[in-house]
Structure formats: structure tokens, C-alpha cells
């Protein structure tokens, strides 16, 4: 029983380490052939949005909105993939033999 509690404490500590590492990871989603780029960290926090200047006209509003949405979702999907891989690695280290 105490071994399980010890493992849970270790897991909590490792999860915090992973969260800190994911803060340092950045991934970018692009759309429109790179005309819109959104960068997020591994914890899914938006770090930057880059829009090419020629898109910043009122008549392009809908196109820009669509491109930002696509780029944002691509960046968040990649951040989720990175985060899940990190968490899985922590789980394997702390719970060997346990299917993850």
C-alpha cells in the first residue's frame, strides 16, 4: 500500500516536471501556405500569431478568420501530441509493465 502511495507521489512530481518541460516546447501550425502561423507551447498556450500583411484588409476578413482557425487547430493538435507523448513516457518510467 505504501509503495502505491510512494508511486503516486513520484508521479505527481514527475507530472509537474513534464508540465515545466512542456512550457519550453513550442510547436507551430500553419495555413494558407504559411501566410498564417500560430505558435503554442506544449501546454497549449498560444505564444504568437503571425499573419502576412497582405491579408490584413477588410475584404479578406473571412479568409483570415478561416486561416487563423486552421493554423490554431493544427498547432493545438501538435501540442496535444507532444504532451501525450511526454505523459506516456513518465507513466512508463513510474509504472513499468502497466499498459498505457
26-62 burial string, b = 16+ CB within 10 Å, else e?
A: bbbbbbbeebbbbbbbbbbeeeeeebeeeeeeeeeee
Residue 36's nearest CA partner among 54, 48, 53, 51 is: 51
- How high is the pLDDT of residue 47? 94
Q: What angle do CA 38, 45, 86 make, to 5 degrees?
A: 105
Average pLDDT in the chain: 87
pTM for the full predicted model: 0.74
Structure letter (DSSP) for residue 38:
E
Helices and strands in the chain, H and E counts: 2, 3
What pLDDT is stored for residue 14 in this prediction? 83
Domain 25-94: CATH superfamily, name plus number = Nucleoid-associated protein YbaB-like domain (3.30.1310.10)
Amino acid at each position: 500500500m505504501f509503495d502505491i502511495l510512494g508511486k503516486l507521489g513520484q508521479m505527481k512530481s514527475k507530472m509537474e516536471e513534464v508540465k515545466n518541460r512542456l512550457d519550453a516546447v513550442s510547436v507551430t501550425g500553419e495555413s494558407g501556405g504559411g501566410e498564417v502561423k500560430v505558435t503554442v507551447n506544449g501546454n497549449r498556450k498560444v505564444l504568437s500569431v503571425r499573419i502576412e500583411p497582405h491579408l490584413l484588409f477588410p475584404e479578406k476578413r473571412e479568409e483570415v478568420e478561416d486561416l487563423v482557425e486552421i493554423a490554431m487547430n493544427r498547432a493545438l493538435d501538435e501540442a496535444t501530441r507532444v504532451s501525450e507523448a511526454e505523459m506516456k513516457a513518465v507513466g512508463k518510467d513510474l509504472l513499468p509493465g502497466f499498459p498505457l
